[in-house]
Amino acid sequence: MNLNDMSGMKQWGLVLAVAGLLTATLYFTYFKTQREANESAQKSLDAKLQENRELEPYKSKLAEIDRQLASLEQQMEIEKRIVPDEKEVDTFMKLLDGEAAKAGVELRRYTAQPTSSKEFYTEVPFEIELDGSYYSMMNFFDRVAKLERIVNVSGLLVANTKKPSDAKAKHVYQYATTESVVATCLATTFFSHDNQPAATPATAKGRT
């Protein structure tokens, strides 16, 4: 049948029927897919909004948590200076040499002693020999006691420069006229570790 042979009402009816068919087709294909995508996006948005609502009470605590973390990091840095995590023997010797120079005493000898490994740290002792005036010697030990790094001094022996063997000094030196005492002692420093066996400290710069 030719479309031109149809009456106006029939032509309009046919156009409406075709339009309805196209609408139904779009509804059950493109529009349905788009609607499902929108519903999925809305569900994701609702989930994210719910998550934000649950985290909202912690927002006010975030600054405090950041401050606590910064404080912990600072504390860890301080602890590393007090008890280093590596056996920096040269650094330890330079530290004592510097305090001896400031106090006005001569630090003559370091002799490494056997280390002692504990659960979280290792004790590293050195027998040291030094000489100077009595008050300079007292000043040195006072300065060592105030160091940020932990250094324990034990077994202190003091003798007159005229008889250094009374302090078990191993050598006799040309003592200055201002020097009056010779001392030997055990200076012990500490190193943190992760339960690793400690090694015997190496001799540094020709010292025994």
How far apart, in Å, do the first and last CA atoms of the chain sit? 119
List phi, psi (to 5°) of 104: 85, 30
pLDDT digits (tens, 9 = 90+) for 121-147: 888 899 999 999 999 999 999 999 998
pTM for this one?
0.57
- Rounded (10°) angle between helices 89-103 and 134-145: 140
Q: Which residues contact 136 (CB under 8 A, 6 or more apart)?
A: 103, 104, 105
Q: Is the pLDDT of residue 16 over 60?
A: yes
Percent of the chain with pLDDT over 90: 31
Tokens of 157: 């022996």
* C-beta atoms surrounding 70 within 10 Å: 10
Which amino acid does the sequence have at 181? Answer: V
Q: Assess contact for 152 and 121: CB atoms under 8 A.
A: no
Which H or E run includes 119?
none
* C-beta atoms surrounding 162 within 10 Å: 10
pLDDT digits (tens, 9 = 90+) for 51-106: 877 777 766 676 776 676 666 666 556 555 545 556 667 888 899 999 999 999 99
Residue 110, burial from CB neighbour count under 10 angstroms (0-12, 13-18, 19+): buried
Q: What is the pLDDT averaged over residues 37-55?
A: 78
More reliable by pLDDT, 1 or 59:
59
pLDDT digits (tens, 9 = 90+) for 106-119: 999 999 899 888 88
Q: What 8-state DSSP symbol labels residue 180?
A: -
